[in-house]
Amino acid sequence: MTRSIKKMSIVNKMVISLIFGFLLGGLLIIIRERLGTESDIWKFINTMFLVDVTKSKGFDGVGILYIISQLFMRGLQLAIVPLVLTSLTLAISSLGNPKKLGSIAIKTLFTFVCFYIIIAFLAGVIAMLIKNFGGFDVNLPTHEATELTTMEAYNPLTVLINAVPDNIFNALTFNNQILSVVVISSIMGVCIIFMGDYAEPIEKLFDSFNELIQKYLNFLINYISPFAILCMVTRALAVYGVEYIKPTLVWMVATTLTSILLLLTIYPIGILLTTKLNPLPFMKKISKVALFAAATNSSAATLPINVKTCNEELGCSEEITSFVLPTGMTINMNGTTLMHMISITFIGTAAGIEVTSMTLIVTGFLSICMAIGTPAIPVAGTTMVYVVMSGLGWNSELAMIGYSLVLAMNYLPGMAVITLNVVGDATTNVIINKREGELDEDVYYN
């Protein structure tokens, strides 16, 4: 039995973890509803397994599920900066030819922008259809509003300035400055190209460090992630439950189904039209990446398994993959833009604000600028909804209540949104590899 479990694929392990997570979470919801939150049994369950031990209310708690979930996520985040720094630097330096590097970078950015525009447009159309049919005409009870996590409004163009850090060590210290790490890695990679043989010691150092990181992440994903996913899903259902779903049910369903719909249509069509490849092998092989992204709710955490799948199963070049995927993890958040379009339509309509086509055009522009600079961590994209609202001048109390509901109920829609992001990265990677003549089609179709 133990041997069969070890031989089980990571996909099967994650599926089983998700199933048991939903079952255990549902069971805890039933216990809470039957006994009440003031019962001794529920207080014991909450204290032992669910409580956030970093908050004042969890001072005397144990929070086993919370601790395991946080240790796993922090373990992944621990490798994000060094992974991007080493893999992207090595990828650029290994290309050798600056003209080839320029071609890949331009094609990558152009593909990302095209997917951004297409998804923003389709999400806006769907959001307006739902609005016109009364789907967002909901009552927002003020007593249900949660505490807001606010952010200061700023000009979206500051993303360009902040991308170039004024202190390299400061940029390498925080996970929320990944865009700066991408810039640093790109500069270092290009410099190594022009240094020639003088850069050989640096390349060997980076190569060894990159191998160390890969070994660490392989262990974390293959052996720890299934159990961690079980804990995360169970706790999420048990803590958030269904108390606040009713006022935002339409938004949740719309965001989730739209993400899934575009995931199953835009990317396969994009591969078919730009590469003439059959998209079915891609969709089949990328499914475990999508599943992992949905479970962890983090594109950064999914980067290692996405790289592994693209290289070993889709026939992509390691050099191009190491450039496209870390760059995509940083700037390709088209799922976040989709969520922004639907969220703004929902919040405005529910708050009595007239949402027009021009409103959505401005929202799309602001959202794309925000998404490019959004850290690849859970809930970051939802928090940026407030920045878009500030750009639109929405600061009424009802708009704030709508935003607080979106922020509170982000988990389930966020699973679909994150999936759209990471599969978009892989789609772009396949397209660029094919256009550059680097795709191994035998591996792709195998």
What is the pLDDT, as a whole number, of residue 340? 92
What is the pLDDT, as a whole number, of residue 126? 93
What is the pLDDT, as a whole number, of residue 240? 63
The beta-carbon contacts of 9-12 under 8 Å, at least 24 apart in sequence, are 9/288, 10/221, 10/222, 10/225, 10/226, 10/288, 10/305, 11/287, 11/288, 11/291
What is the pLDDT, as a whole number, of residue 179? 67
What is the pLDDT, as a whole number, of residue 244? 46
Place 419 in a pLDDT band, splitting at 50, 70 and 90.
Answer: very high
- 281-320: per-residue pLDDT in tens? 999 999 989 988 888 777 777 888 899 899 989 999 888 8
Phi-psi region of 253 (alpha: psi -120 to 50; beta: other; left: phi over 0): alpha
Place 431 in a pLDDT band, splitting at 50, 70 and 90.
Answer: very high
pLDDT mean over 3-25 = 71
What is the pLDDT, as a whole number, of residue 2? 46
In order of 119, 262, 272, 380, 425, the CA distances from 258 in angstroms are 10, 6, 21, 20, 18
Q: pLDDT at residue 163 above 50?
A: yes
Residues 358 and 409 sit within 8 Å (Cβ to Cβ): no
Number of other residues whose CB lies within 10 A of the CB of residue 31: 15
In order of 14, 171, 183, 283, 406, the CA distances from 111 in angstroms are 31, 27, 19, 18, 29
Joined tokens for residue 343 = 């969220």
Q: pLDDT at residue 365 above 70?
A: yes
- Alpha-carbon span 35 to 45, nearest angstrom: 12
What is the pLDDT, as a whole number, of residue 329? 81
What is the pLDDT, as a whole number, of residue 59? 65
pLDDT mean over 18-47 = 85
- Alpha-carbon span 386 to 380, nearest angstrom: 11
- 231-284: per-residue pLDDT in tens? 877 887 787 665 545 556 788 889 999 999 999 999 999 999 999 999 999 999
User: If you search the block for the tokens 């999420």, which residue do you land on?
Assistant: 236
Place 380 in a pLDDT band, splitting at 50, 70 and 90.
Answer: low
pLDDT mean over 164-172 = 84
> Mean pLDDT for the chain?
79
Q: Is pTM, for the whole model, over 0.75? A: no
Place 84 in a pLDDT band, splitting at 50, 70 and 90.
Answer: confident
Q: pLDDT at residue 341 above 70?
A: yes
- Alpha-carbon span 297 to 414, nearest angstrom: 6
Instruction: List, in order of start, the domains of the chain with CATH numbers.
Output: 98-165+245-445 (1.10.3860.10)
What is the pLDDT, as a whole number, of residue 153? 45
Indicate the range of 56-70, 318-332, 333-347, 424-438 predicted with least confidence: 56-70
C-alpha angle with apex 215: 211 to 217, nearest 5 degrees? 115
